Amino acid sequence: MPRSAAVPFTLKRSQDVLGSSYITSTTETVHGLLRLDGDRVLIQWRLARKTEHIGNEIRTDQEFEAVREVVLPIDVLAGAQVRAPWLGFFGGGKLVLTAADLQAFEAVAGEGGLRLRHPAELLVRIRRSDRMLAEEFSAELAMAVAERALELHQERSLARGRERNLGEGQEGSV
């Protein structure tokens, strides 16, 4: 059965530079969407960068990058889980995608991509209002991963059975 679920996410990161006569503050906000589409997961995001300069002049620069998309096959994922916020009543928590292969998130974390704390985990912040969507996404992904593992196991079993039958047929003809 084809599975589908989607959950929006955000990431924020900032960097401040203090010089002797200037201050520069850069804030990057990533708005994204995780979508389960059959036997693949689509990760889409757009980066908005706001840079504030205070020195000889005071100005704010804003940049918006184009939407980026990475498609991951279910085979490279081990699962997902929703982590509650540290204090249960603040925020929606985080959704953690776990890779089955360390190269799974390479396209996501590459140049111009998202920064990952660990190469096998994609950790994104979710809004409180999207927590149930994240739980649904996590459950649907777990089912898709389990179904794919079952398919692979059945394919291997059939291949071994064919090999045994071929081997027995060759022995009898000698």
CATH code of the domain containing 93: 2.30.29
Predicted confidence band of residue 156 (pLDDT cuts 50, 70, 90) = confident
Task: Please report whether residue 167 resides in a domain.
Answer: no
Say if residue 78's pLDDT is above 70. Answer: yes
pLDDT number for residue 167:
67
Calculate mean pLDDT across residues 35-43.
92
Q: How many CA atoms lie within 13 A of 67 on its CB side?
A: 7
Task: Please report whether residue 155 resides in a domain.
Answer: no
Residue type, 36: L
Task: Please report whether residue 154 resides in a domain.
Answer: no
Predicted confidence band of residue 162 (pLDDT cuts 50, 70, 90) = confident
Domain count, the chain: 1
Task: Please report whether residue 85 resides in a domain.
Answer: yes
Q: Which residue has the tokens 């036997």?
A: 39
- What are residue 106's DSSP bridge partners? none
User: Could you tell me the two tokens for 92?
Assistant: 């929606």
Q: Please count the helices (runs of H) and the strands (runs of E) in the chain.
A: 2, 8
Say if residue 132's pLDDT is above 80. Answer: yes
Task: Please report whether residue 166 resides in a domain.
Answer: no
Calculate mean pLDDT across residues 44-68.
94
Residue type, 113: G
Q: For the purposes of burial, counting CB atoms within 10 Å of the CB of 45, is it exposed (0-12), middle (13-18) or buried (19 or more)?
A: buried
Nearest to 141 by CA among 125, 154, 166, 122: 122
- How far is Cα 147 from Cα 129, in angstroms, rounded to an integer? 29
> Of all residues in the chain, what percent carry a pLDDT higher than 70?
88
Task: Please report whether residue 161 resides in a domain.
Answer: no
User: Could you tell me the two tokens for 102?
Assistant: 């360390």
- How far is Cα 6 from Cα 154, in angstroms, rounded to an integer? 29
Calculate mean pLDDT across residues 51-80.
93
Task: Please report whether residue 88 resides in a domain.
Answer: yes
Nearest to 14 by CA among 1, 30, 3: 30
94 versus 108: which is more confidently predicted? 94
Say if residue 49's pLDDT is above 90. Answer: yes
Task: Please report whether residue 171 resides in a domain.
Answer: no
Domain extent for 29: 4-145
